[in-house]
């Protein structure tokens, strides 16, 4: 699984306006919907599904990173987007720090293994400090897409 398999490039947000957890999720889901990744009529339901998943445990994994995700019947394939909040947002992170980097994934209900592969791909890349730092420094969608492409090519994978 690669970023290019599920990230809707035109939905990437370089400067989130939201200042709350639900606001971040809403802004990202609406951006996906605007680009056809999520049906417009499913936006509120998808937001609800992501927030319900957050109730099970935060997807703020620490180091300024969150990977909100959910399964929803409104999508027929895994879709995702990336967003940056230069100021950071309280996302109830495991390390109690604000989150600056967000990766959202929405999968169909039957995408069990594919959903997990997408999550594994994201977390593997995010272990690399340089990748995270470059993402935070990105000011344009093109910068982010270039980084995602480099990551897909294995440039930021940590040696085991």
User: Would you name the residues annotated as active-site residues?
Assistant: 69
C-alpha 53: how far from chain center: 14
Q: Please calculate the CA angle 65-22-44 and round it to the nearest 5 degrees.
A: 125
């Amino acid at each position: 699984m690669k970023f290019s398999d599920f990230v809707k490039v035109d939905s990437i947000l370089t400067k989130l306006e939201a200042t709350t957890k639900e606001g971040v999720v809403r802004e990202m889901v609406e951006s996906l919907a605007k680009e056809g990744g999520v049906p417009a009529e499913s936006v509120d339901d998808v937001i609800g599904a992501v927030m319900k998943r957050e109730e099970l445990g935060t997807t703020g994994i620490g180091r300024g990173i969150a990977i909100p995700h959910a399964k929803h019947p409104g999508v027929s394939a895994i879709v995702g987007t990336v967003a940056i909040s230069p100021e950071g947002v309280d996302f109830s992170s495991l390390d109690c720090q604000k989150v600056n980097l967000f990766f959202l994934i929405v999968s169909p209900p039957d995408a069990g293994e594919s959903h997990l592969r997408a999550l594994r791909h994201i977390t593997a890349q995010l272990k690399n400090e340089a990748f995270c730092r470059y993402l935070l420094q990105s000011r344009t969608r093109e910068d982010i897409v270039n980084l995602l492409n480099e990551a897909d090519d294995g440039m930021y994978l940590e040696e085991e």
